[in-house]
Chain A
Amino acid sequence: QVTLRESGPALVKPTQTLTLTCTFSGFSLSTSGMCVSWIRQPPGKALEWLALIDWDDDKYYSTSLKTRLTISKDTSKNQVVLTMTNMDPVDTATYYCARAPVDSSGLPYYFDYWGQGTLVTVSS
């Protein structure tokens, strides 16, 4: 069965770089038509999509955050890594990774499997 699990630090200081890892099983990111996204949710607020990487190593980023984000994958380890630079207290959120099949236009179709999320707090 498909599972995803996020891991990373629970607490980071302002200006630091956050590195999160999504470790998944039950599918392969070398399979055509699949992608993994990162999505975050500040406490009590809505979901915000951050980035995706697909089976072909194409990468897409949030318009507002693209200068701070880098997404990569290690297909042999079934992992996707997200780095976010220059962390600020407003980046405090639960960070999710999620799988999506990619439609014929190359766009993520729907997020059908999600990790449990990892809460990251930004504070000095």
Chain B
Amino acid sequence: DIQMTQSPSSLSASVGDRVTITCQASQDISNYLNWYQQKPGKAPKLLIYDASNLETGVPSRFSGSGSGTDFTFTISSLQPEDIATYYCQQYDNLPPIFGPGTKVDIK
């Protein structure tokens, strides 16, 4: 199985800050990577697919980039409603593995 890692595991930032999360795959997955947001007590929500494509209706302050093994997820200006855990997920191979998550808090 492909292994996914994320860093950091958690972060605190101020409203308006730029936030960056990285995700690394254990082997080349091209751009077959998705990002999800999960708020406490809620199901995950798809934000970005194919590493950099914004899902319909998702605010443009969210973005993703990368290919191969290294990927980046960015919130350009952190908002209070962005408090959540963010997960990357590869779909290059079965099983579709999720990363361990990054918890984002407001400082």
- A residues bordering B, Cβ < 8 Å? 37, 39, 46-49, 60-63, 96, 98, 103, 107-112, 114-117
Inter-chain contact B100/A60, CB cutoff 8 Å: no
Task: Enumerate chain B residues within 8 angstroms of A108, measured Cβ to Cβ.
Answer: 91, 96
Nearest chain A CB to B61's CB is how many angstroms away? 20
Tell whether A49 pairs with B98 under 8 Å between CB atoms, given A63-B1, A111-B44.
Answer: yes
Task: Enumerate chain A residues within 8 angstroms of B100, measured Cβ to Cβ.
Answer: 46
Inter-chain contact A109/B49, CB cutoff 8 Å: yes
Nearest chain A CB to B95's CB is how many angstroms away? 5
Inter-chain contact B91/A107, CB cutoff 8 Å: yes
Inter-chain contact A46/B91, CB cutoff 8 Å: no
Inter-chain contact B87/A47, CB cutoff 8 Å: yes
Inter-chain contact B99/A117, CB cutoff 8 Å: no
Out of B36, B43, B46, B96, name the residue touching A49 (CB < 8 Å): B96
- B residues bordering A, Cβ < 8 Å? 1, 32, 34, 36, 38, 42-46, 49, 55, 87, 89, 91-101
Task: Enumerate chain A residues within 8 angstroms of B38, measured Cβ to Cβ.
Answer: 47
Inter-chain contact A107/B94, CB cutoff 8 Å: yes
Inter-chain contact B46/A110, CB cutoff 8 Å: yes
Inter-chain contact B43/A109, CB cutoff 8 Å: no
A116 and chain B: residue at smallest CB distance? B43
Out of A46, A61, A96, A112, name the residue touching B46 (CB < 8 Å): A112
Nearest chain A CB to B88's CB is how many angstroms away? 10
Out of A37, A96, A110, name the residue touching B43 (CB < 8 Å): A96
Nearest chain A CB to B83's CB is how many angstroms away? 16
Inter-chain contact B97/A49, CB cutoff 8 Å: yes
Interchain residue pairs A-B with the least CB separation, the first 7: A114-B43, A47-B98, A110-B49, A110-B34, A46-B100, A46-B101, A49-B96
Out of B42, B43, B93, B98, name the residue touching A107 (CB < 8 Å): B93
Inter-chain contact B95/A111, CB cutoff 8 Å: no
Nearest chain A CB to B48's CB is how many angstroms away? 9
Task: Enumerate chain B residues within 8 angstroms of A109, measured Cβ to Cβ.
Answer: 49, 91
Nearest chain A CB to B86's CB is how many angstroms away? 11
B100 and chain A: residue at smallest CB distance? A46
A64 and chain B: residue at smallest CB distance? B1
Inter-chain contact A46/B98, CB cutoff 8 Å: yes
